[in-house]
Amino acid sequence: MTVPTNQQQFLANTHNKSRFISMLSEKLKAADIFVKQANNDADVLIIETALEKFNKNTTIVVGEYVDLLIILTARTPTDRIIYFLKPGKAQIETKMYSSQSLTSYPKCQAHILFLHAITGYDTTSAFFKRDEDAYDINEDIFDPSFFLEQSIEIQQQGEEEESEVTV
C-alpha cells in the first residue's frame, strides 16, 4: 500500500494513526512478536516493558527522545544495565547511553525526573511554552550539581513538613 502523503501528515489524522497501529499490531502478533499498546504516552510503558523483559542478555531501548533515557535512568535498578540507543539522522551520529550513565552524580537516580522537569527538557514543559529546542545550554553555565543540591533540599523540606503533619 502506498500512502500519497508524508508520515507527519498521515499520522496527524487520528483515524489514520489508529488504523495504522491496529494493522501493525496484528502483523507483529501474527509473526509471534510481543506487542503492548499504550493508552496514552508510551514512554513509561516502553521502559517498564524493558525492565520486565530484562534478563542476563543485553537489553536496548531504541528511541528518539531524551525522555526515554531519563525514565530509564530513574527506574532501572542499580544492579541492572539497560542501554538507550538514539538513532542518528543525516549529519547527527547514532548515540548509545546506559541506564548508569549518571552514576558519577550521587543520588542522581532519585532526583533525575525532578531535575528533568525543572530544567524544561521534558515534553510536559510544553505546557509552559518550553521544549527541548528552546534551550541551548552550555555546560559551563549549566551545573547539574546545583540542581541536584536544590532537589535534595526540596525533598528534605517535604519530608520535614510530612513528619510535622503526622506527629
Q: Are 56 and 47 in contact (CB under 8 A)?
A: no
pLDDT less than 50: residues of the chain = 123-141, 167
- Res 23: pLDDT: 93
Q: What was the pLDDT predicted at 117?
A: 73
Q: Which three cell numbers stand for residue 146?
A: 546545583
80 — phi, psi (to 5°)?
Answer: -120, 155
Residue 166 pLDDT: 53
Q: CA 96 to CA 85: how far, in whole Å?
A: 5
Does the reported pTM lie above 0.85?
Answer: no
**Amino acid present at 122:** D
What does 67-129 look like in DSSP terms, one character per residue? HHHHHHHHHS-TT---EEEE--BTTBPPEEEETTTTTTSTTHHHHHHHHHHHTT-SGGGGGGT
Give the pLDDT score at 99: 84
* pLDDT of res. 59: 86
Extract the C-alpha cell encoding 33. 512478536
Tens-place pLDDT, residues 93-124: 998 888 887 777 767 777 777 777 776 655 44
* Per-residue pLDDT, 103: 73
3-state secondary structure of 62: strand
